[in-house]
Structure 1
Amino acid sequence: LVSQWKEIYDSGRPHEEQFPGRWSSLVGMERMVVLRCFRPDKLVPAVQHYRDSSCCSPLVFILSSGSDPTAGLLKFADDLGMGGGRTQTISLGQGQGPIAARMIETALRDGTWVVLQNCHLATSWMPTLEKICEETITPENTHPDFRLWLTSYPSDRFPVSILQNGVKMTNEPPKGLRANLLRSYLSDPISDPAFFTGSSQQEAWQKLLFGLCFFHALVQERRTFGPLGWNIPYEFNESDLRISMRQIQMFLDEYEEIPLEALTYLTGECNYGGRVTDDKDRRLLISLLSTFYCQELIQQHQYRVCEGGDTYYIPPHGPYESYVEYIRSLPITAEPGVYGLHSNADITKDNQETNQLLDGVLLTLPRQTGGGAKSPQEVVDELAEDIMVKLPCDFDLETVMIKYPVMYQESMNTVLRQELIRFNRLTQVVRSSLVNIRKALKGQVVMSAELEDVFNSMLVGKVPALWAAKSYPSLKPLGSYISDLLARLHFLQEWIDNGPPVVFWLSGFYFTQSFLTGVSQNFARKYTIPIDYISFQYQVMGARPEDGAYVRGLFLEGARWDRERGVLAESLPKILFDPLPIIWLQPAQSSASQQHSVYQCPVYKTSARRGTLSTTGHSTNYILTIHLPSDQPHKHWINRGVACLCQLNH
């Protein structure tokens, strides 16, 4: 049985596989609950395949710009034997209401389908439709095969009761690399023959034009991969593409030799780069652009624009139609490798979509329960009591100051004291809010808006905003957050009881930059070197080092650490994060710490990666950049979005 489950786990489409043994009888919601346990990344496709409706529940298509579900709906009707005269459609508008009512009346008896399109255009008839749904479409009067389909743009005049009782769906417009490229080539100015053929260096112009459009699609579509794609999701748009096109055309007409450096600067630093605020994102943008703005693209026949495979290349010089035809021949969905990412990036993206879906479902959670289940108030009261029992007392700062006084030679004493102050502030907020929420549930104090937020967050397993405001950055749910907080407090207590650890838990610090400064300061004072001249060397590795510090607790995302060869390597399938071994942060004078064949890997506190500049001048998320040995070009890992994280989301 285990081998059968392993086969489904390893499948590319587990939501379509038959479950083994007695689990094979599961359908619908129960089947999706099981799938959520071992392949949460495929929950959204499973929901899309989930079909459940009754003859008395209207099926509502919520329209979005650029999408029309009618063709797909009629094909679906044909597949189920409801095509032809068994499905009647009508577009609502002035005077169409009575005709639609007669259609519904006939279909109720005959067991056919009725499709009412554009309900938002017939707002005056909506009350009548609401009455029909409530009074006429009842189990006694309705044929089991009858279905009522409605399409409408979001409208405040649409009946709420129909939305509550109906099945809601939406059909998104096509997206992806191919759709993006096609949109560029079918839009002005590329679709204008005068523009497309209007360059003195026609072959180079068309190749660079296609390369630019591919780059434009690439930077837009990488946003779907979250922080792996970009730390901050920038709104690159058509105006960036248009100005870059015209600059290529202008430079080709004015210079015999193509000035690629100037074009790279204008496109990468000004047009697209002007929107980029994160320096790691800027590094990625230039890396991606270097694939397209190069001599190889102009000189080679069918230049490959991505690693591996022969599908994506610059088409040979030809008429406008040949480029459109080539774009239409591309796969509808591009593999992550096309974007420079590892295949595991799809799992990360799908997990994010699943989390968004489940977060939305949690918002609809009822606050009242029936039967023998515990009430929300009882659940929160028990949870608050459990956390309070586990939470240790505040650190005694006076005792610590006596044991670890401020010393010129040992900056770590100051680091420890500052950490204890910050964690005391956090645990005091957590403890007082838990005491007050329990009192409020018993009616001893007023349930303020702040306490209500704590109650609602605890009920759905989220960290309350009141705590987050005084906390270190974390994306963990409530249970994991409390476990992580207790582990950090234990780490500091061990330090107090037994002295500085041999290996520091880098992820356990509230303000990690303070620890890094302390390490540098100890080295600077020991060897009388200005601290501004010191940077770290990084050695992935036992007694405590003479200088610097051993640190642990980092996770690699987008790559793994090859422990045999001691270099970065490609991630293993379905393993998204790889724990790094102990690292020696070794201070050295900056000129002496330059290394070759390394990847400059950014370290972040959470997987969100993006942060803001705090009042101390440090980022709220980015910590530092460490140098990891690599046998691949620097650009390879930049495109992969490789980074180190101090903590995971679970």
Structure 2
Amino acid sequence: ATRGSILYFLITEMRLVNEMYQTSLRQFLGLFDLSLARSVKSPITSKRIANIIEHMTYEVYKYTARGLYEEHKFLFTLLLTLKIDIQRNRVKHEEFLTLIKGGASLDLKACPPKPSKWILDMTWLNLVELSKLRQFSDVLDQISRNEKMWKIWFDKENPEEEPLPNAYDKSLDCFRRLLLIRAWCPDRTIAQARKYIVDAMGENYAEGVLLDLEKTWEESDPRTPLICLLSMGSDPTDSIIALGKRLKIETRYVSVGQGQEVHARKLLQQTMVNGGWALLQNCHLGLDFMDELMDTIVETETVHDAFRLWMTTEVHKQFPITLLQMSIKFANEPPQGLRAGLKRTYGGVSQDLLDVSAVAQWKPLLYAVAFLHSTVQERRKFGPLGWNIPYEFNQADFNATVQFIQNHLDDMDLKKGVSWTTVRYMIGEIQYGGRVTDDYDKRLLNTLAKVWFSENMFGPDFNFYQGYNIPKCSTVDNYLHYIQSLPTYDSPEVFGLHPNADITYQSKLAKDVLDTILGIQPKDSSGGGDETREAVVARLADDMLEKLPPGYGPFEVKERLQKMGPFQPMNIFLRQEIDRMQRVLTLVRSTLTELKLAIDGTIIMSENLRDALNCMFDARIPAGWKKEITRANKGWALDNMVLCNEVTKWMKDDISAPPTEGVYVYGLYLEGAGWDKRNMKLTESKPKVLFELMPVIRIYAENNTVRDPRLYSCPIYKKPVRTDLNYIAAVDLRTTQVPEHWVLRGVALLCDVK
């Protein structure tokens, strides 16, 4: 019963992650009863109970994970493991909070000083928070004393596989190691969490649950709809129809929305009487019809035994909860990784398509397009390093490109060969490029087309990246066989990115998982300690008010600016900055003061204050403050002036006087590459160094000068999110490699790395 309640409340908590994850108590009890019936019997009571618990946990896990999106499956497994361990007293509540929060709410100035520069500020804060737990009470001393040992361990490729420094290797179990890894290497957190799940729950929980449509269908009955949650680039229609054919059942489908309800009604009536499958696509477009649909299923007196209702829908807040609770949910997402993507593409290629053209170039070109198709999808997961804007490239783009290449080869003059400019233009600007709205993304796509699509691709030495060639095959099966031999895990270099890109991706993944867990924690008043939630926040508010600098006095500001010369460009800018800063200070001060009054009960706790309270307790920035801090800067154009630049050898401290012409810019960070100070050129990033501080750059303006094509034109953005709003300008950087290399690497300069 205890295990049952843990599982049930966890499943119902998942609805806070996504409103489509609704499960009813009835569904859960059904699973509970099945576990009683199906688990291994045993005459010894304690053994029998253990068997039931074991069986039930796994069944509930499989059932729930099937209805979750990929990004939430791991989160669910981790939460399941943590909750069971907390109930077994293997993990304490404060350890759980340290895992999900880290040191986000600490102030660096109030902590003991860092022993050395290479330790990141955030890492140190995490370690200080960690040292409050009994097992880690001396962790800060250990690191200060043996800092070199820790650095050697930290610099290893996979620190979680290596023995830990000092006596920790022997004394820490799998979960405590996870706490340590989370403090040091956010990018390895997920890998260590996987090991923890295997250690606590067993192997079968760490492997993903593969969707088996036939099993899912066996679980259903005529009055239980099957709902597929759609995501980018996935549509289960073909799989459902194929399964129907195999089971000799006819499937008929209607796409809901725009007055299709009449047809849907007719389809339902016919199939409910005569049997067969009805598939309603895109149900989120016909929400009014859903309530009627539910009544039809529940209230129709007799329903044919072979009748099943399949539905597909995107996530929608107004989708009827009761319908979700009575149905079986499953998600069907495009697979992760190049191998899986190519497999999926070639799974849809028929032998006829492979033999459609006798020209020698046809098969290699088809494979190259399939490879490009998987690459553009895979680059999405690397965030702004991959694409500035994540586009929804799909099967239609692939089909259009294949059709174009087929036509192009049919009309080709055999003596002249393929017209590469045409092929590259069609791929980079039209077929795939048609979706692309950002200029730098367009540049990236054209570069991929330029690097891969040329006469060289038919040569024996061509490869996309070491180990990824174009196979010479004659049948679809040969191709699938070759694809199966590709690595399961792709290095980011296959897509043209630096191996460091994986750190960015893994860190983001870990942050999303932990933030989501933090966001769905119950907002009860006690945090397992002696202090209530309100008392903690009141203490924080006092602390912040004490540190908040006083506001600016308007007269004083005016007087000082008068002295400095109010119309100099930098001073105009300074005045605007002071006004903005003043607004932020006033807002923060009023929120904190009102929050203290509301906690004392003097004034009423408004919606904004409630949000501020929750955010401060969770060590996040309140939403009301964020609105004030962002800003958009509209530039002006000097039509025929171009910005020119030279990167100097100096750092900020070496400069004493302004340049004779232009301005010195410092404090820019290079992402995706390193900087060779001696030769003043771009080089590869150092392992684990994601951002490198650039030396001072002198930027000046000239009348139209011709750009040197050998330089890499590097965009500057205000923030790591690379959108048009954050774009400032571009500077030219010197490079030994061809500029295309850095385009694929996604190299940019950032004003701020947070």
TM-score, normalising length: structure 1: 0.70
Residues 43-86 of structure 1 show CA distances to partners (whole Å, capped at 9, x for unaligned) of 1121122237999x9x999987746999xxxxxxxxxxxxxxxx
- Structure 2 residue identity aligned to 1:469: K
Summarize the alignment of residues 193-204 of structure 1 with structure 2, pairs less than 5 Å apart.
193-201=351-359, 203-204=360-361
Residues 301 and 600 from structure 1, CA distance in 2 versus in 1: closer, same or farther, beyond 3 angstroms?
Answer: same
Report the counterpart of residue 640 of structure 1 in structure 2.
745
Q: Is the 8 A contact 2:153 2:165 kept in 1?
A: no
Q: Is the 8 A contact 2:174 2:199 kept in 1?
A: no
Given candidates 579, 601, 613, the residue that maps to 1:455 is 613
Given candidates 508, 518, 539, the residue that maps to 1:362 is 518
C-alpha distance in 1 between matches for 2:669 and 2:688: 15
- Structure 2 residue identity aligned to 1:48: R
Summarize the alignment of residues 45-56 of structure 1 with structure 2, pairs less than 5 Å apart.
45-51=191-197
Report the counterpart of residue 463 of structure 2 in structure 1.
304
Q: Is the 8 A contact 1:304 1:314 kept in 2?
A: yes
3-state SS, counterpart of residue 156 of structure 1: helix
* Residue 209 of structure 1, CA deviation: 0.7
Report the counterpart of residue 676 of structure 2 in structure 1.
562
* Residue 557 of structure 1, CA deviation: 0.8
C-alpha distance in 1 between matches for 2:392 and 2:595: 42
C-alpha distance in 1 between matches for 2:501 and 2:662: 35
Residues 30 and 292 from structure 1, CA distance in 2 versus in 1: closer, same or farther, beyond 3 angstroms?
Answer: same
| Residues matched between the structures, number | 494
3-state SS, counterpart of residue 456 of structure 2: helix
- Structure 2 residue identity aligned to 1:627: D
Residues 263 and 158 from structure 1, CA distance in 2 versus in 1: closer, same or farther, beyond 3 angstroms?
Answer: closer
Report the counterpart of residue 229 of structure 1 in structure 2.
386
* Residue 513 of structure 1, CA deviation: 6.4
- Residue 677 of structure 2 corresponds to residue 531 of structure 1: no
C-alpha distance in 1 between matches for 2:730 and 2:211: 43
C-alpha distance in 2 between matches for 1:646 and 1:533: 26
3-state SS, counterpart of residue 197 of structure 2: coil
Residues 511 and 581 from structure 1, CA distance in 2 versus in 1: closer, same or farther, beyond 3 angstroms?
Answer: farther
* Residue 341 of structure 1, CA deviation: 0.5
TM-score, normalising length: structure 2: 0.60
- Residue 706 of structure 2 corresponds to residue 599 of structure 1: no
3-state SS, counterpart of residue 325 of structure 2: coil
Report the counterpart of residue 175 of structure 1 in structure 2.
336
C-alpha distance in 2 between matches for 1:18 and 1:412: 54
Given candidates 172, 184, 188, the residue that maps to 2:345 is 184
What runs of 5+ residues in structure 1 fail to find an aligned partner? 71-89, 96-153, 160-169, 473-509, 518-529, 611-618
C-alpha distance in 2 between matches for 1:49 and 1:210: 37
Report the counterpart of residue 341 of structure 1 in structure 2.
497
What runs of 5+ residues in structure 2 fail to find an aligned partner? 1-145, 223-322, 649-654
Residues 276-333 of structure 1 show CA distances to partners (whole Å, capped at 9, x for unaligned) of 11111111111112122212113x1251123xx3x11122364433322221111111
Report the counterpart of residue 385 of structure 1 in structure 2.
542
* Percentage of pairs with the same residue: 35
* Residue 465 of structure 1, CA deviation: 1.2
- Residue 696 of structure 2 corresponds to residue 589 of structure 1: no
Report the counterpart of residue 730 of structure 2 in structure 1.
625
Q: Is the 8 A contact 1:302 1:316 kept in 2?
A: no
- Residue 404 of structure 2 corresponds to residue 404 of structure 1: no
C-alpha distance in 2 between matches for 1:344 and 1:537: 30
Q: Is the 8 A contact 1:67 1:173 kept in 2?
A: no
Report the counterpart of residue 18 of structure 1 in structure 2.
163
Residues 229-251 of structure 1 show CA distances to partners (whole Å, capped at 9, x for unaligned) of 11111110011000100100001
C-alpha distance in 2 between matches for 1:370 and 1:573: 39
3-state SS, counterpart of residue 623 of structure 1: strand
3-state SS, counterpart of residue 639 of structure 2: helix
- Residue 587 of structure 2 corresponds to residue 413 of structure 1: no
C-alpha distance in 1 between matches for 2:214 and 2:162: 27
- Structure 2 residue identity aligned to 1:534: M
- Structure 1 residue identity aligned to 2:167: R
Residues 303 and 621 from structure 1, CA distance in 2 versus in 1: closer, same or farther, beyond 3 angstroms?
Answer: same
Report the counterpart of residue 374 of structure 2 in structure 1.
217
Q: Is the 8 A contact 2:595 2:609 kept in 1?
A: yes
Residues 571 and 63 from structure 1, CA distance in 2 versus in 1: closer, same or farther, beyond 3 angstroms?
Answer: closer
C-alpha distance in 2 between matches for 1:556 and 1:69: 51
* Residue 627 of structure 1, CA deviation: 1.6
* Residue 225 of structure 1, CA deviation: 1.0
* Residue 7 of structure 1, CA deviation: 4.5
- Structure 2 residue identity aligned to 1:446: I
Residues 137-191 of structure 1 show CA distances to partners (whole Å, capped at 9, x for unaligned) of xxxxxxxxxxxxxxxxx963599xxxxxxxxxx998852011111111111xx2x
C-alpha distance in 2 between matches for 1:291 and 1:54: 47
Q: Is the 8 A contact 2:373 2:398 kept in 1?
A: yes
Q: Is the 8 A contact 2:668 2:751 kept in 1?
A: yes
Superposition RMSD in Å: 3.4
* Residue 448 of structure 1, CA deviation: 1.0
C-alpha distance in 1 between matches for 2:345 and 2:512: 30
Given candidates 469, 472, 475, the residue that maps to 1:313 is 469
Residues 15-50 of structure 1 show CA distances to partners (whole Å, capped at 9, x for unaligned) of 233334431221132221011111211111211222
Given candidates 592, 595, 603, the residue that maps to 1:445 is 603
Q: Is the 8 A contact 1:302 1:314 kept in 2?
A: no
* Residue 200 of structure 1, CA deviation: 4.0
Q: Is the 8 A contact 2:669 2:694 kept in 1?
A: yes
